[in-house]
Every structure is written in structure tokens, then in C-alpha cells.
């Protein structure tokens, strides 16, 4: 019997059972939390942390790797869902505001975090990496809460398209910082070509491949008859496969003229969604979004509960390599200076773009959540650094920030939506927009 059911198989079954328990518990705790005006996302994360604490005392070898595969898929699902929300025509009307506010808050978060860490005597190249990671904002809470509350208004219209521009900007700065850090770490001064080719390749190929997958997805769904009994099945499977292909290419990368190109696991699936939604009919978009909305609740709950467990696992695995004092000091600096950069940068960006008072005051509070994308960047940076202590410190600081941002960030997002009168205290949408009429035709085109 033991020869048939080896340890790997048993562990796989255990992961399925644990994941099912986390989703069910997360749903119950999330509903209970909302009764006391606590964002259900924070409830999901607390459930995950509790599961992680229990599993650290059991044999959880391999669980972290399996969990991280799932969170990468969920992050791709979230990124594609956000892409489906981005109508280029509507964004183009607000292009100056979106660009100015996004780049300004990103630069402030980068500068504040980097300078703060350097002031407290962190090595400059490591502080530079953490500064670029500080730019990243987790899209999950924003997508979940804006969809759940069905928010409409200036804040939502600025907040949703912000991620595409922010992720592209973060890719460029992170690539430059990583090339510089690797050069300093190895003692070889990096050339200008080495600094720029990595992030440029990542950005360009993420856009090109995302557009290609999005056009193929659009072609498949375009051929469907509206009355086809298998319509929903084909739509769901096609989108599911598109996410899998995008994430596979993003995480494995490829070689281009001898250079390994690392693609963005957020930008690539987001571009797939943007391409599809802006080249398809309203009916095709409506049907696709409807199928994803039916599937999204268990994915979102599982994502945040698993992220909570991952945080506990990573702290347990990495903490032995880093002095406690350095971990606490730099984590505190990272958290506080990133918050200051996001808040001040959003206000100043709104001032430059002549945005509304609500955007200037409250946008920064919506940009605090940070999770899988930042952890992924930290892990990638560690693989390129030769000093294991510096690499572990980098990961632990980001994880500590993730814990605080994910627990309390949804409060800032919910508070901002309420103060901007886009949702009331009970989570009901205040601003109502007339739903566009969707003409039904033989095809979803």
C-alpha cells in the first residue's frame, strides 16, 4: 500500500483537503467579519495565518511550493479580470490624470522607501531593490471590493486602470535596480546595456505576448453562437486556458538571443484581458465577465487565505538567517516610509493632474495592499543575489510589509470608498449608472 500511495501523492491529497477547509472557514469568517464592518478580505487573511501557524507545527514540507503555484494562478486570474474592466476609450479620456497620478505616487513610494532604508544604514543596492518593490500594489482587494460593492465614481475610475501603468513602471525600475544590485554584488560594474535590456525586454514581450493571447481568445469566442448550449462551457474553458498559458510563459520565461527574458505575471494576463475586452463586442464581454464572476469567489477566498499561510511559512523558513534586530528595524522603516510615499505621492500627483478633492485625499489609502506580486519580485531578486543573508532579509522585510498591508489595507480602501460616497456604510453602491443595452445576435460578436 505504501508503495502505491507514496508521500507525494498523500501530500497532494492533504493539500486539497487543507485548501477546502481554508476556503470554507474563510467564507464563514469573512461573512462574520462584515457584520462588524470589517472587510472580509482581512478575515480571509486571518484564517490563512491561523492555518499557517497550525501547519508550522506539523509536517508541511512542500506545502509552500504547492501553495505558491496556486497563488500565482489566482493572481493571474485577478490580473485578467482587471484587464477586462479596462475600456481604453474611457481611460483615454482620463489618460493625463491616470499617468500623472500613477507615476507620481510610484516615484514617491520608491524614493521615500529607498531613502528611509539608506538613512538607517541598509546597503544602498538592497534599499534600491526594496524601493522598487514598494511601488507594487496588490490588485486583489481593489478588484474584489469594487466588484462586491459595485462602486462607481471618480475614485474607482482612477483606481482600476492605475494597475496597468503602475506595473509597467515597476517592471522598468525593478529591472534597473536588480541589474545594478547584481553588478554590485558580483563586484562587476554594470554597463548601460545590462541595465536596460532586462526591463525593456520584459515590458515589450509581456505586451506583445499578452496581445497575441488576447486576440486568439477573442477569435475563439467570436465564433460562438449565442444560442449554443455549450456557450458558457467554451467561454469558461477558453479563458481558463488563456490564464494558464499566460502564467506558464510569464513564470518560465524564454531566451532571446542568449538573454533570459523574465515576463511579468501581472502585466501579461492583464494585457490579455485588455486586448480581449477592447476588441470584442459588448455581448462577448458581458458573457465572459459573467462566467468569471461566478468562478471568482472561491478563487479570491482561497488566494487570501493561502497568502496568509504563506506569510507564516516564509517567516518560519527565512528568519533563522537574519538577525532579529535588523529584521524588525528595516521592516518598520519599509512599512512606514512606503505608506508615507503612497499617501503624499497620491496627493501631490492629484494636485499636478488637477484631480478632484476626493482623489487627492483618498487614493493613497487604496494603494496600500501588497502581497503576491511583491513577494514574487523579492524571491526573484534573491535568486540573483549571491549573499544569502541579504536575500533572506529582502524577503522577510517584504513579507512583514505584506502582513501589515494585507491586514489593514482593505480598511483604508473601504474607508476611502465610503468617504468618497461611492459606497455606503453597509456596502451598498450609492452612485447608480444606467446599464447599457446589449443587443443579442447570433454570434458573440
Distance spanning both ends of the chain, measured CA to CA: 54
pLDDT higher than threshold 50 for residue 10: no
pLDDT surpasses 80 at 306: yes
Q: Tell me the CATH class for 73-298+324-419.
A: mainly alpha
Tens of pLDDT along 61-110? 667 777 888 888 888 888 888 888 887 877 777 778 888 888 999 999 99
Query: How far apart, in whole angstroms, are the C-alpha atoms of residue 245 and residue 232?
Result: 20
The pLDDT of residue 4 is 39
Distance from C-alpha of 384 to C-alpha of 326, rounded to nearest angstrom: 21
Percent of the chain at pLDDT exceeding 90:
19
Domain ranges of the chain: 73-298+324-419
CB atoms within 10 A of CB 154: 18
Q: Which helix (H) or strand (E) is 71 found in, with range?
A: helix 63-84
**Cα dihedral: 138, 143, 145, 149 (round 10):** 160
Contact 127, 114 (CB under 8 A): yes
**Quick count: other Cβ atoms within 10 Å of Cβ 335?**
21
Q: Mean pLDDT across the chain, nearest whole number?
A: 81
Q: What is the mean pLDDT of residues 20-37?
A: 88
Q: Which residue has the higher pLDDT, 116 or 1?
A: 116
Give all strands (DSSP E) within 184-335, no chain letters: 254-256, 259-261
CA 427 to chain centre: 23
pTM of the complete model beyond 0.85 = no
- Cβ distance 399 to 311 under 8 Å? yes
Can you tell me the distance from the alpha carbon of 335 to that of 408, in angstroms, rounded to the nearest whole number? Answer: 12
Rg (CA), the chain: 22
C-beta of residue 385 within 8 angstroms of C-beta of residue 129:
no
Separation between Cα atoms, residue 44 and residue 260, nearest integer Å: 37
% of the chain residues with pLDDT over 70: 88
User: 348 pLDDT band (50/70/90 cuts)?
Assistant: very high
Q: Which residue has the higher pLDDT, 401 or 419?
A: 401
pLDDT at 337: 96
Per-residue confidence (pLDDT) for residue 430, from 0 to 100: 44
Burial zone of 345 (CB within 10 Å; 0-12 exposed, 13-18 middle, 19+ buried)? buried
| Cell numbers standing for residue 230 | 455549450
Please say whether the beta carbons of 182 and 394 come within 8 A.
no
Q: What is the DSSP letter of 264?
A: P
Amino acid at each position: 500500500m505504501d508503495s502505491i500511495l507514496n508521500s507525494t501523492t498523500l501530500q497532494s491529497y492533504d493539500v486539497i483537503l487543507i485548501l477546502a477547509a481554508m476556503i470554507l472557514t474563510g467564507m464563514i469568517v469573512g461573512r462574520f467579519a462584515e457584520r462588524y464592518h470589517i472587510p472580509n478580505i482581512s478575515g480571509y487573511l486571518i484564517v490563512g495565518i491561523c492555518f499557517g501557524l497550525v501547519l508550522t507545527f506539523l509536517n508541511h514540507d512542500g506545502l509552500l511550493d504547492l501553495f505558491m503555484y496556486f497563488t500565482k494562478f489566482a493572481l493571474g486570474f485577478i490580473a485578467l479580470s482587471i484587464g477586462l474592466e479596462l475600456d481604453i476609450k474611457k481611460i483615454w479620456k482620463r489618460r493625463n490624470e491616470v499617468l500623472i497620478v500613477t507615476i507620481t505616487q510610484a516615484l514617491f513610494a520608491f524614493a521615500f522607501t529607498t531613502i528611509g532604508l539608506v538613512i538607517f544604514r541598509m546597503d544602498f543596492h538592497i534599499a534600491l531593490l526594496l524601493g522598487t518593490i514598494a511601488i507594487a500594489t496588490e490588485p486583489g482587494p481593489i478588484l474584489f471590493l469594487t466588484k462586491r460593492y459595485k462602486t462607481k465614481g471618480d475614485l474607482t475610475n482612477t483606481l482600476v486602470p492605475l494597475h496597468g501603468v503602475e506595473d509597467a513602471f515597476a517592471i522598468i525600475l525593478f529591472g534597473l535596480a536588480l541589474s545594478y544590485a547584481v553588478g554590485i554584488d558580483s563586484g562587476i560594474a554594470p554597463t548601460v546595456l545590462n541595465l536596460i535590456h532586462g526591463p525593456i525586454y520584459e515590458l515589450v514581450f509581456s505586451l506583445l505576448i499578452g496581445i497575441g493571447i488576447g486576440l486568439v481568445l477573442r477569435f475563439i469566442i467570436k465564433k460562438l453562437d449565442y444560442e449554443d448550449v455549450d456557450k458558457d462551457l467554451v467561454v469558461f474553458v477558453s479563458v481558463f486556458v488563456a490564464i494558464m498559458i499566460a502564467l506558464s510563459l510569464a513564470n518560465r520565461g524564454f531566451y532571446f538571443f542568449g538573454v533570459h527574458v523574465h515576463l511579468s505575471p501581472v502585466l501579461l494576463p492583464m494585457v490579455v484581458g485588455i486586448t480581449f475586452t477592447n476588441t470584442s463586442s459588448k455581448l462577448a464581454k458581458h458573457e465572459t465577465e459573467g462566467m468569471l464572476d461566478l468562478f471568482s469567489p472561491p478563487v479570491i477566498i482561497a488566494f487570501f487565505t493561502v497568502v496568509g499561510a504563506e506569510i507564516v511559512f516564509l517567516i518560519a523558513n527565512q528568519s533563522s538567517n537574519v538577525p532579529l534586530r535588523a529584521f524588525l528595524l528595516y521592516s518598520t522603516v519599509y512599512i512606514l516610509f512606503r505608506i508615507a510615499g503612497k499617501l503624499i505621492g497620491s496627493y501631490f500627483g492629484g494636485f499636478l493632474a488637477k484631480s478632484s478633492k476626493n482623489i487627492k485625499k483618498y487614493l493613497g489609502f487604496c494603494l496600500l495592499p501588497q502581497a503576491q506580486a511583491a513577494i514574487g519580485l523579492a524571491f526573484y531578486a534573491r535568486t540573483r543575489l549571491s549573499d544569502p543573508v541579504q536575500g533572506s532579509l529582502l524577503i522577510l522585510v517584504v513579507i512583514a510589509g505584506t502582513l501589515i498591508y494585507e491586514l489593514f489595507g482593505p480598511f483604508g480602501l473601504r474607508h476611502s470608498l465610503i468617504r468618497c460616497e461611492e459606497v455606503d456604510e453597509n456596502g451598498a453602491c450609492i452612485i447608480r449608472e444606467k446599464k447599457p443595452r446589449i443587443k443579442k445576435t447570433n454570434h458573440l460578436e
